Structure 1
Amino acid sequence: MLNKLWFNHYPDEVPHSYDYPKQNLAKFLIDSANQYPDHIALDFMGKKISYNSLLKSVYRFANALLRLGIRKGDRVAIMLPNCPQGVIAYYGTLLTGAVVVMTNPLYVPREIEHQLSDAGVRLIVTMDALVSRVQEAMKKHPLEFMLVTEMKDYLPFPKNLLYPIKAKKDGMRAAVEYNERVLSFKQCLKDSSDLPCHTLVNADEDLALIQYTGGTTGVAKGVMLTHMNLISNTVQAQLWFYRSRKANEKYLAALPFFHVFGLTVLLNLAIYNAGTLILLPRFEINQVLSTIDKLKPTIFPGAPTMYIAVINHPEVSRYDLSSINICISGAAPLPLEVQERFERITGGKLIEGYGLTEASPVTHVNNIWELRKSGSIGIPVPDTEARIVNALTGEDLPLGEIGELIVRGPQVMKGYWQRPDETAASLRDGWLYTGDLARMDQDGFFFILDRRKDLIIAGGYNIYPREVEEVLFEHPDVEEAVVAGTVDPYRGETVKAYIVLREGCTTTEAELKSFCKERLAVYKVPKVYEFRKALPKTLVGKVLRRKLIDEEMGKLIPDNKEEA
């Protein structure tokens, strides 16, 4: 493994190693604002904010935090959709040396309470519509401060006047009672100085972010990411996109920044590259297509479900999508059929990458303009090593064999927040044990088979859901497919497929089974098919396989109602 076969397929323009700047992560913004002060940094629903204007707002936010007593190492939560306020709060917090805790706006009180209490958050920045939910969550552990913003605060005229009417109608606006602890975000910035504020940090040791992960499979853990972790991963991504042009790219920000994939490959990367971020508060397919058609973004990172939505839109041919040059797909496996159709429609490049929250997140990516392999997550990015090992012994496996993927590099986390035992289990001698089953081929390209816990063992055979899903996606009537193992009294587990058909299609279970039998060994063919209108997903678009399995388990448990 340590022969690093992947270097044979590195583009000439990409270095094997790089000297990453040891600085505060927010210096990316300072540098871009100094070099390109008048260039547009953010485009939010028509409201354009230059780099100079953004940096001044960030300084104002940082000074507001300092005035409230927030200091280096304190934790500040940001619970917002993609909007200028989120960008300002993120970089402003970093400039004070405080630690950002990105929080999903869709969280229910139980999830909010766990995350904010576990991290010891002192202050949260959130929307008016979310205030009551946060207050309910934090009854037992009241926060010192809440900075509250409204979506209209950064909307252009006349949207800023019309939005409150629509928001009230949709139940997305709430009256907020401001006091000495619940403060107006807008007013705090107005009352603060825009004098430069820049706290020096030890980039290798000081935390920039605590990012929670694992909530779908157990108690969410806080991943500790240092300034250097995030700096190195941002630079690694930029080195890979070596044809991208400084202060020339437009990034379609449909991935949420509260997910580390969106945070690195959109927010941090765009700011580092002095690009323009086209901010979308949520992924809505008609708005996405219209935005691409009108604003001509060149880079569109996303999850496979986003690209599936694009290629299956009934009126996709009405939109000009030719501005798209580069798309990197993450968060879930990218079916080959989706990749090929998307590239035909847009003329751009759609490549699959791989990462995990514990690695900031990117560790592998396919070449954009050189050799790439279908079904592969690609090769390790600069300064990143990867091995396939026996999950129990940690010993390297022969080339081509399936084992656990482990990785090492400057982007790998410091550990889990206040969980030394789990840190020790995942980080061993500097190597991060990913929990993913994979293999490496003779060219140094890596292939993910599945999470170890998603492996289906039926009749003694190992079945990898991704392999079956790739076949189902080849069927012309299938829009989405996910495969899971369900309990079988004879085989131990059996393969079940959950299918979303394209609009107007009426393919039957028998037809799909026949289709799979022609392409898969008989033991891999799904025995059960369930047709659905939609699949359960995270906000990033990752299908919640575990939720489907839990539903199946629930069907096996008898309904023992208490007797009156």
Structure 2
Amino acid sequence: METTVKTVRYASEARPWLAFYDKKFWDMEPPACTVFDYLCQQNKGHLTDIALSYYGNTISYADLIVNVKKTAAALRAIGMKKGDIATVVSVMTPEAIYLYYAADLLGATLNLVDPRYSPEGIRDYIQEVDSRLLFCLDAAYEKCRQAIKRTSVEKVVVISPADSLKGPVKLAYLLANHDKNRYGSNVVRWKAFLAAGQGESTAAEPYDPDHCCVVVHTGGTTGSPKGVMLGDNAFNSLIQQFTAYEEVFERQQRLLNVMPPFIAYGFACGVHLPLCLGITVVIVPNLDPAKLGRLVLKHKPSHMFGVPTHYQTLAEDRKLKNADLSFILNFAAGGDSLSLGAEKTVNDFLAAHGAPYPLAKGYGMTEVCSAATACAGHHNKPGSVGIPLVNTLVSVFEPGTDKELPIGERGEVCICGPATMQGYYGKPEETQIILRKHPDGRVWVHTGDLGYMDEDGYVFLDSRIKRMIIRHDGFKVFPTMIENALSMHPAVRGCSVVSCADKDHFQGRLPFAFIQLDPSCHKKKRQVVQELRQLCQEELPEYVQPVGYKFVDTPPYTPVGKVDYRALEQSIQPSDY
């Protein structure tokens, strides 16, 4: 009797995902130009198309380019030059986009900071890069005024959300939002800042492959916060790879931009990607999740890059009950895990409302300019985060080592591609921990995430290594395995599994589940818990069973919209299980 020997394949060699891409995309060389040059090249001959839409004010590509050059001239007038780093504390506005491309034109860098941080947090990020120039939203000025004490900041430019508004909309905003700030002598408003640049050169610095466009700060939920340096090549190569998804991208579609500018996901996928593909970016500076459905109906965007909770909110919005959503082509979820139950709920909702494709998904991290895998259009599998981008390698390695594991085996997900960061600002030792040169000569990003790749090239995640729960007996528990099971119960709207102390053993941790009930559920919580315990006993091994359940109306979130698992862990009391 003959025995069939299974062929062992390694992702870095086999690259099974290439079967989903047209061969013309397989070996693209990254554009050797700045992000501003790439924007201009991609829109040559289409300058009258609409680039930005901001509360009724439409800005063409021609106007966008002019505004970028005006901003670059103003930066030169205020003293900024090649190699300098300016800090920006703002939400997404047209001015933030002009600054992104203008600083690039000068060969300078933007240090992007969340305006919700405390004065002390803002000060730390200013001092980290030694900024002498600060741009801040007027609503964040008081915090910034306190933050710049004992720093190198010499000049402050204040941006108002009204700077790009027009007509009645601008008047209504100004009437409702009186600026009560008392500005210091080192402060200028955006309009005066631009005026001071008249007559200055708008000539671009030569392309430098080592130029850093932005410093984006990681959230610090898995260690100390770090400044990730992303260059022109990272942004441009990411966008170039997305051109391989020809079935969903087309000029002058609309993208609803709901992500902030201080994360890589916001600028890479929410700004540079659509603008380089000729897509109109509808800017929403400060999203109220309850109004998301209304915005979708108003703007009819083909695209949106968001986090899983955005789409769960849409699926429950009564305003969309009978709506035709056939215009939705690429609503993509990234930035956080998505349970199978939640994915099915959103996909059923999209299909019932005429959307031609299921929810798109992606996976990446700030260190790879936000995205390394994606599934858009028909190339999709439930539970997967997609296939690697066409010029990106994704494989699985024995955790913490350079030993590649065969396709199908679980291990640490690692990424090698042209969108990799230049490093952590001022932290070479920490850079070497995550960027490692393997014997194959490639530099791989060690993500700290556990997962596997199937035979077709689809990537599946188990959890972050630091979310993995290790029991006293050494058994490893993956929270997503439990979350996927729990999410299939009809009463569960959302769930998050974290670790809690093992009361019976000195060492080890055990899984604990937080549950959000579906509003339509009328069962008593005690009955729901009994049913969940039964479900887990049927679907999961004995050592994976949650030891406790706790109901929450809404889980805590980090500033960028991810579930704050650390806060959930800290909220568990011994009496809860």
TM-score, structure 1 as length reference? 0.92
The one-character-per-residue Cα deviations of 1:176-221 (angstroms, maximum 9, x if unpaired) are 4253x21111222234338872433444311111111142233211
**C-alpha distance in structure 2 between counterparts of 1:218 and 1:461, whole Å:** 24
Counterpart code for 1:294:
K
**C-alpha distance in structure 2 between counterparts of 1:55 and 1:367, whole Å:** 30
Counterpart of 2:461? 448
Counterpart of 2:382? 374
2:338 maps to 1:334: yes
Q: CA deviation at 1:410?
A: 0.9
Q: CA deviation at 1:125?
A: 1.6
Q: Contact conserved, 2:74 with 2:200, CA < 8 A, in 1?
A: no
SS at match of 2:246: coil
Q: Contact conserved, 2:77 with 2:200, CA < 8 A, in 1?
A: no
The one-character-per-residue Cα deviations of 1:273-304 (angstroms, maximum 9, x if unpaired) are 12100111122234321222122111111110
CA separation of 1:194/1:478 partners in 2, compared to 1, >3 Å: closer, same or farther? farther
**C-alpha distance in structure 1 between counterparts of 2:333 and 2:454, whole Å:** 21
Counterpart of 1:4? 14
**C-alpha distance in structure 2 between counterparts of 1:137 and 1:484, whole Å:** 35
CA separation of 1:525/1:167 partners in 2, compared to 1, >3 Å: closer, same or farther? farther
CA separation of 1:13/1:265 partners in 2, compared to 1, >3 Å: closer, same or farther? farther
**C-alpha distance in structure 2 between counterparts of 1:77 and 1:396, whole Å:** 40
Counterpart of 1:174? 180
**C-alpha distance in structure 2 between counterparts of 1:528 and 1:97, whole Å:** 54
Counterpart code for 2:484:
E
Q: CA deviation at 1:536?
A: 1.1
CA separation of 1:14/1:250 partners in 2, compared to 1, >3 Å: closer, same or farther? farther
CA separation of 1:195/1:286 partners in 2, compared to 1, >3 Å: closer, same or farther? farther
Instruction: Select which of 180, 184, 193 maps to 2:189.
Output: 184
The one-character-per-residue Cα deviations of 1:122-152 (angstroms, maximum 9, x if unpaired) are 2122111111101212212141221102112
TM-score, structure 2 as length reference? 0.90
Counterpart code for 1:283:
L
Instruction: Select which of 402, 408, 412 maps to 2:416.
Output: 408
2:491 maps to 1:487: no
Q: CA deviation at 1:246?
A: 4.4
2:202 maps to 1:197: yes
Q: Contact conserved, 2:90 with 2:96, CA < 8 A, in 1?
A: yes
The one-character-per-residue Cα deviations of 1:433-456 (angstroms, maximum 9, x if unpaired) are 111111122222221111111001
Q: Contact conserved, 2:361 with 2:385, CA < 8 A, in 1?
A: yes
Instruction: Select which of 558, 561, 566 maps to 1:538.
Output: 558
SS at match of 1:535: coil
Counterpart code for 1:199:
A
Q: CA deviation at 1:92?
A: 1.4
CA separation of 1:153/1:516 partners in 2, compared to 1, >3 Å: closer, same or farther? same
**C-alpha distance in structure 2 between counterparts of 1:277 and 1:367, whole Å:** 19
CA separation of 1:257/1:456 partners in 2, compared to 1, >3 Å: closer, same or farther? same
CA separation of 1:369/1:126 partners in 2, compared to 1, >3 Å: closer, same or farther? same
User: 79-88 or 284-293, which moves further after superposition?
Assistant: 284-293
Counterpart of 2:450? 437
Q: Contact conserved, 1:89 with 1:125, CA < 8 A, in 2?
A: no
Q: Contact conserved, 1:496 with 1:528, CA < 8 A, in 2?
A: yes
**C-alpha distance in structure 1 between counterparts of 2:376 and 2:250, whole Å:** 20
2:53 maps to 1:43: yes
Counterpart of 1:562? none
Counterpart of 1:260? 264
In the alignment, structure 1 segments of 5+ residues that lack a partner are 557-564
Q: Contact conserved, 1:28 with 1:271, CA < 8 A, in 2?
A: no
Q: Contact conserved, 2:498 with 2:513, CA < 8 A, in 1?
A: yes
Counterpart code for 2:480:
R
Q: CA deviation at 1:319?
A: 4.1
SS at match of 1:474: coil
Instruction: Select which of 465, 473, 476 maps to 2:479.
Output: 465
Q: Contact conserved, 1:289 with 1:319, CA < 8 A, in 2?
A: no
Aligned-residue CA RMSD (Å): 2.2
Q: CA deviation at 1:326?
A: 0.8
Q: Contact conserved, 1:436 with 1:452, CA < 8 A, in 2?
A: yes
**C-alpha distance in structure 2 between counterparts of 1:23 and 1:338, whole Å:** 41
Same amino acid, percent of matched pairs: 28
Q: CA deviation at 1:517?
A: 2.3
**C-alpha distance in structure 2 between counterparts of 1:246 and 1:195, whole Å:** 37
**C-alpha distance in structure 2 between counterparts of 1:141 and 1:407, whole Å:** 37
User: How many equivalent residue pairs?
Assistant: 548
Q: Contact conserved, 1:292 with 1:323, CA < 8 A, in 2?
A: no
